[in-house]
Structure 1
Amino acid sequence: MMYKLGMPSLSIVMPSMNEEETIRICIEKAQYIFKKYGIEGEIIVADNSSDRTAEIAASMGAKVIGPIKGYGNAYLKGLAEAKGDYIAIADADNTYDLLELDRFLDPLMAGEADFIMGTRLKGEIKAGAMPWLHQYIGNPILTGMLNFLFKTKISDAHCGMRAFTKEALEKMDLKTHGMELASEMVIEAARCGLRIKEVPITYYSRKAPSKLRSFQDGWRHVRFMMLYRPVPFLYIPGAFVFLLGFLITASLLLTNNAAYNRLHSFILGSMLLIIGGQILATGGYMKTYGIIHGMYRDDEKGRKLLSYHSLEKELVGGSLILGSGFIIGLKVAYTWASTGYGTLEEVESAVISMVLAAIGLQLIFAAIFVSVMLLEVDTDW
């Protein structure tokens, strides 16, 4: 469709998967919005249907692309095709009322915001539209996590009805292929400094069975936030566990016969040291992945830590720790052999040897793994 000269244009992108019962009414509502504002627009349906959804959409003038598998993929492909000055997105199942798009478009066209979010929790949720697990537990918890981690102030992070300017879309570096795109879009909007506004909407029940997978989709959102913010998820807990293990182990070593008087506490401290080191290493892996894929802008400290020079230091450090454990272990083995392989009296030294060996190996393999991740990346930062 052509856009009228001097008039703002609107693109409406809808992902669809077997929505033949509702796609027609959704397109009719979108066309009504075009007429209401006196603008030319386009409707893009990113489809992965096995029914007549694509056929119906195409017959009504929509641009159908697909088949496209994956919620995030559908939006990435659909948004790439959008040519409008303003872009709106919503599901094709008629759970979002596209006649309410004026609540999104008015502040956008007035220049009051760059990114408009719908909020079902401050609007109206029809009976049976949202499971209680989502409404009262899942959505509030995930939204609260996102607000805390990324300093946003929204009430419904997973509302699928949104609108934004073309310029705002170009600023957001959207990449994810699954349901976590909903979170990524909000995170990117906040990171780019876009003016975000919420408007209350009505949420209706689906005619067809829901395609959401509560726990799997919820975990994908948490995993994505963890990737963007490894410090509160991994670095802080990992450092706490490691430090706690160190304090327990060190304090017991300062006492006499810790292995005999406080054996269980001694083993606990040693385990916490190893677990803490593993959590910190996992945080390092996530940080590496994020830097490689451009998720941390202007993170020069992180880039320096990932240089091959720093990784070589990590290998040396790991080797020294492993070597220390190996030497202590040899001493224990020699003492045990010299006593005729009887009762082992070097429990403390044996435990320390195993802990040092485990931490050293963790450090070495972490350095190797990160180096492999960086093989195809220019690390001359």
Structure 2
Amino acid sequence: MPSLSIVMPSMNEEETIRICIEKAQFIFKKYGIEGEIIVADNSSDRTAEIAASMGARVIGPIKGYGNAYLKGLAEAKGDYIAIADADNTYDLLELDRFLDPLMAGEADFIMGTRLKGNIKKGAMPWLHQYIGNPFLTGTLNFLFKTKISDAHCGMRAFTKEALEKMNLKTYGMELASEMVIEAAKCELRIKEVPITYYSRRAPSKLRSFHDGWRHMRFMMLYRPLPFLLLPGAVVFILGVLITGSLLISANAAESRLHSFILGCMLLILGGQTLSTGGYMKTYGIVRGVYPKDKGSTAKWLNYHSLEKELLVGSLILGAGLLLGLKVVYTWISSGYGSLSEVKNAVISMVFAFIGLQMIFSAIILSVMLLEVDTDW
């Protein structure tokens, strides 16, 4: 059995795959260990042919960055596993910085850091180096209590046991974030080592804003509370306070119409945000993102709670419709003339909207949870 597995995703890297494999083979010789090189390929050039001729095990074609790593990692048999891109932007001769602490039992998961290492001129766009990467890394550190400097460095190493603990599922670029999040969630010992980052020969396949949003969206899936549920609750409560204070004061809603409309808008916006947070939470449960427990998760999955939401939504919608019918009746009674029922008309629409939102949310959530085991 190999002691070290090196997994490299590749897509049209015929210019660099040879040097990457040669560096990996040098590491095997340096440590005097059995090793395997797994190339998860999706190339239309000679990348796969070159890799196979040099003794690498080529699997594919595999589409998608995360999917390539998932397939490659599933094939890895080594006690220690290293990952890096096949474009030679990461120097595999620096793998000893990763392997030494792993083999010494000092860590379970080793991250490379380019930002504390040496970034060669032109290797990383300034937008990534000074804005995108620090912002996404800082967000991840804040949400998941990690202390890393470069969350999207693609050169990493970990033990086989660490890989088996991490529940990796993502098929896209966000696998880089998922791996760090899972390592933190599993309480793995994480260590960073500075590395050198070189320029690519071929054009980069990264899409700055698209890929950045995928990482952000994935963190929202893991932590919907600070992104959606908490802000939504604050906005909704603020809307209740503004609208309620104007309703209980005589003629205040009509005399302070702009404040009244603002309060109603906050109610609607808060309700929408809370619903979106609920969808994210439920999707995370369906995907197995959260650990199983008998507490809040079980309550969330309880179908009867969805029935209650459906009932409450129906009552709120009914109240809005009744209030709306009252406005229509008053208008008919006045001979279809001018009518000063702004307060009741607005409240009727808000109630109807929130009621419908709750009904639709109950239906969507119940459909999402159809095949989920609720006996947690």
Q: Same fold by TM-score, threshold 0.5 exceeded?
A: yes
Alignment gaps of 5+ in structure 2: none
- Give the conservation status (yes or no) of the 8 Å contact 2:313–2:354: yes
- The aligned counterpart of 1:289 is 283
Q: Partner residue of 1:6? A: none
Partner of residue 195 from structure 1, selected from 172, 184, 189: 189
Residue 273 of structure 2 corresponds to: 279
Q: Name the structure 2 match of 1:154.
A: 148
- Which among 164, 171, 174 is matched to residue 177 of structure 1? 171
One-letter identity of the residue aligned with 2:261: I
- Runs of 4+ that moved beyond 4 A: none
Q: What do residues 128-159 of structure 1 show as CA deviations (whole Å, max 9, x unaligned)?
A: 00000000000000000000000000000000
The aligned counterpart of 2:205 is 211
- Looking at structure 2, the residues matched to 80 and 71 of structure 1 have their Cα atoms a distance apart, in angstroms, of 14
| Matched residue, 2:105 | 111
**Aligned equivalents of 2:312, 2:246: Cα separation in 1:** 25
What is the match of residue 359 of structure 1? Answer: 354
Alignment pair present for 1:317 and 2:290: no
Match of 1:13 in 2: 7
Please, which runs of 5 or more residues in structure 1 have no aligned partner? 4-8
Look up the SS of the partner of 1:42 in the other structure: strand
Indicate conservation of the 8 Å contact 1:291/1:303, yes or no: no
The 8 Å contact of residues 4 and 78 in structure 2, kept in 1 or not, is answered as yes
1:107–1:113 CA contact under 8 A, matched in 2: yes
Residue equivalent to 1:346: 341
**Aligned to 1:72, which of 54, 66, 76?**
66
Name the structure 1 match of 2:47.
53
Letter in 2 for 1:44: I
Q: In the aligned structure 1, how far is the partner of 2:257 from the partner of 2:50?
A: 72
Percent identical across equivalent pairs?
Answer: 84
* Aligned counterpart, 1:306: 301
- TM-score norm. by structure 2 comes to 0.98
Contact 2:298 2:375 in 1 (8 A): no
Matched, 1:377 2:372: yes
Q: Structure 2 CA distance, aligned partners of 1:228 and 1:346?
A: 45
* 1:261 shift after superposition: 1.7
User: What are the superposed Cα offsets for residues 4-46 of structure 1, whole Å, 9 maximum, x if unpaired?
Assistant: xxxxx00000000000000000000000000000001000000
Distance 1:273 1:32 in 2: 63
CA distance in structure 1 between the aligned counterparts of 2:177 and 2:208, rounded to whole angstroms:
15
Do the aligned residues in 2 keep the contact of 1:90 with 1:160 (CA within 8 Å)? yes
Could you tell me which residue of structure 1 aligns to residue 123 of structure 2? 129
Whole-Å separation in 1 of the counterparts to 2:228 and 2:297: 15
Q: CA shift at 1:293, angstroms?
A: 1.3
Instruction: State how far apart, in whole Å, the 2-side matches of 1:287 and 1:130 are.
Output: 35
Deviation at 1:180, TM superposition (A): 0.2
- Once residues 282 and 321 of structure 1 are traced to their aligned partners in structure 2, the CA distance between those partners, rounded to angstroms, is 19
Q: Residue 140 of structure 1 corresponds to which residue in structure 2?
A: 134
Classify the secondary structure of the residue corresponding to 2:114. strand
- Name the count of aligned residue pairs: 375
C-alpha distance in 2 between matches for 1:199 and 1:137: 21
Alpha-carbon distance, 1:235 to partner = 0.6
Provide the secondary structure at the position in 1 that maps to 2:78: coil
